[in-house]
């Protein structure tokens, strides 16, 4: 590469050479979002991953999302800028207890949030994302017992929305959303009395109770852009500010710090940088490798979810 090229130019050049597509989650830093072919929530990115002609998917998000792209594209190379881009929900839910649960309760339906490892997906009956979790649970016959995993707050929210009685919920949490505090939200509402509140369902119930709207990252963006109102308190990762500012520059958006980092940034998502994206396109590493057996088994619950919405 000529020394005068910017990192952005290098990435675009490598993208052409590798016949690659760049998929970016809303929580990626703005410079990465600006280069992406698609910026979306986890459901949109899963759908987009299967709809292209190239050879390489550079997945700018976290590892479980890239694994999902690999399951949908077994013949393509899938790379992630940083191998350590994990997720606290994935880490809360190892596969062994799920296998043991399955053996003890073969008649229960395991509904796994997409924020799980490919091993856990392979043990699941159906997947869901924050966008379609209510529809997925409603698609299961009411007499069936459900194990919903791994996010406790999303599980409780879905249970409230569906009125489902026979549902066990794993006790994992998101390190970003679960540490948003109701007291901080209450103080922000006093400060901005005209602001509407939009929240991700991974937030605690006391936060969701104060929300005017609950939805996935893309749904939150759509709500803030399309709803009448000049001010919004946005209870999710601050990466979504980039799309909000572009789509509704005249509106004001307030992101609250959580009790974990006193910020609203996902430490896993933010491991990816422009330089690491360039290097992963150059080296085709770190690369997602999943055995054929695992891909075959994980595809079943994934396809069931994609057929629903």
Provide the binding-site residues for ligand 13P, judged by CB under 6 A.
41-42, 115, 129-131, 174, 202, 216-217
Binding at 216: pick from ligand 13P, ligand SF4, none (beta carbon under 5-8 Å per type): ligand 13P
Minimum CB distance to ligand SF4, residue 215 (Å): 14
CA distance 303 to 127: 9
CB atoms within 10 A of CB 17: 11
Which residues lie closer than 8 Å to 130 by C-beta, 6 or more apart?
41, 42, 113, 154, 200, 201, 202, 215, 216, 217
Work out whether 136 is an interface residue with ligand SF4 (CB under 6 A). no
Residues 172-191 as x/- pattern, contact with ligand SF4 by CB under 6 A: --xxxx--------------
Q: Which of 14, 111, 240, 266 binds ligand SF4 (CB under 6 A)?
A: 266
Q: How far is the CB of 74 from ligand 13P (least distance, A)?
A: 23
Least CB distance from residue 72 to ligand SF4, whole Å? 19
Q: How far is the CB of 307 from ligand SF4 (least distance, A)?
A: 24
Give the torsion through C-alpha atoms of 301, 306, 308, 309, to 10 deg.
150
Q: In the set 33, 68, 73, 88, which binds ligand SF4 (CB under 6 A)?
A: 88
| Other CB atoms within 10 A of residue 105 CB | 13
Q: How many residues bind ligand SF4 (CB under 6 A)?
A: 14
Q: How far apart are CA 102 and CA 98, in angstroms?
A: 6
Neighbours of 4 (CB within 10 A): 6
User: Are 297 and 38 in contact, with CB atoms under 8 Å apart?
Assistant: no
With CB under 5 to 8 Å by kind, the binding choice for 260 among ligand SF4, ligand 13P, none is none
Interactions with ligand SF4, residue window 49-68 (CB under 6 A): 62
Closest CB to ligand 13P: residue number: 41
191's torsion region: left (phi>0), alpha (psi -120 to 50) or beta?
A: alpha
Decide which of ligand SF4, ligand 13P, none touches 130; Cβ closer than 5 to 8 Å per partner kind.
ligand 13P
88 interacts with, out of ligand SF4, ligand 13P, none, CB within 5 to 8 A per kind: ligand SF4
For ligand SF4, give the closer residue by CB, 48 or 177: 177
**Does the footprint of ligand SF4 cover residue 268 (CB under 6 A)?**
yes
The three-state secondary structure class of 14 is helix
Task: Tell me the closest approach of the beta carbon of residue 184 to ligand SF4, in angstroms.
Answer: 17
- Cα–Cα distance measured from residue 77 to residue 50, given in angstroms and rounded to the nearest whole number: 13
146 C-beta neighbours (distance < 10 Å), count: 25
Q: Which two tokens stand for residue 250?
A: 């005249």
Closest by CA to 274, choosing from 35, 4, 38, is 35
The residue among 14 and 85 lying less far from ligand SF4, judged by its C-beta, is 85
* Residues near ligand SF4 (CB under 6 A): 62, 87-89, 115, 174-177, 202, 237, 266, 268-269
């Amino acid at each position: 590469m000529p020394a005068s090229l910017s990192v952005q130019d290098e990435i675009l050049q490598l993208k052409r050479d590798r016949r690659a597509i760049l998929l970016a989650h809303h929580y990626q830093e703005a410079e990465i979002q600006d280069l992406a072919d698609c910026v979306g929530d986890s459901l949109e990115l899963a759908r987009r991953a299967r709809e292209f002609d190239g050879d390489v998917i550079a997945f700018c998000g976290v590892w479980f999302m890239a694994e999902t792209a690999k399951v949908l594209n077994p013949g393509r190379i899938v790379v992630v800028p940083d191998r350590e881009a994990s997720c606290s929900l994935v880490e809360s839910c190892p596969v062994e207890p799920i296998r043991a649960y399955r053996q003890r309760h073969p008649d229960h339906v395991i509904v796994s949030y997409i924020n799980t490892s490919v091993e856990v997906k392979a043990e699941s009956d159906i997947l869901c994302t924050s966008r379609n979790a209510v529809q997925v649970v409603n698609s299961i016959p009411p007499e069936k017992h459900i194990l919903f995993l791994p996010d406790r707050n999303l599980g409780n929210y879905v249970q409230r929305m569906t009125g489902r009685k026979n549902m066990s919920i794993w006790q994992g949490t998101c390190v970003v959303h679960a540490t948003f505090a109701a007291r901080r939200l209450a103080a922000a509402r006093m400060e901005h009395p005209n602001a509407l509140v939009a929240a991700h369902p991974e937030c605690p119930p006391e936060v969701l109770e104060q929300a005017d709207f609950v939805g996935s990252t893309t749904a939150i963006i759509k709500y803030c852009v399309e709803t009448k109102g000049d001010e919004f308190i946005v209870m999710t990762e601050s990466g979504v500010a980039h799309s909000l500012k572009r789509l509704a520059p005249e509106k004001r958006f307030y992101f609250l710090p959580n009790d974990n980092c006193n910020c609203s940034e996902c430490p896993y998502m933010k491991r990816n940088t422009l330089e690491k994206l360039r290097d992963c396109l150059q080296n085709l590493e770190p690369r997602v490798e999943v055995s054929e057996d695992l891909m075959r088994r994980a595809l079943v619950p994934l396809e069931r979810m994609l057929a629903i919405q």
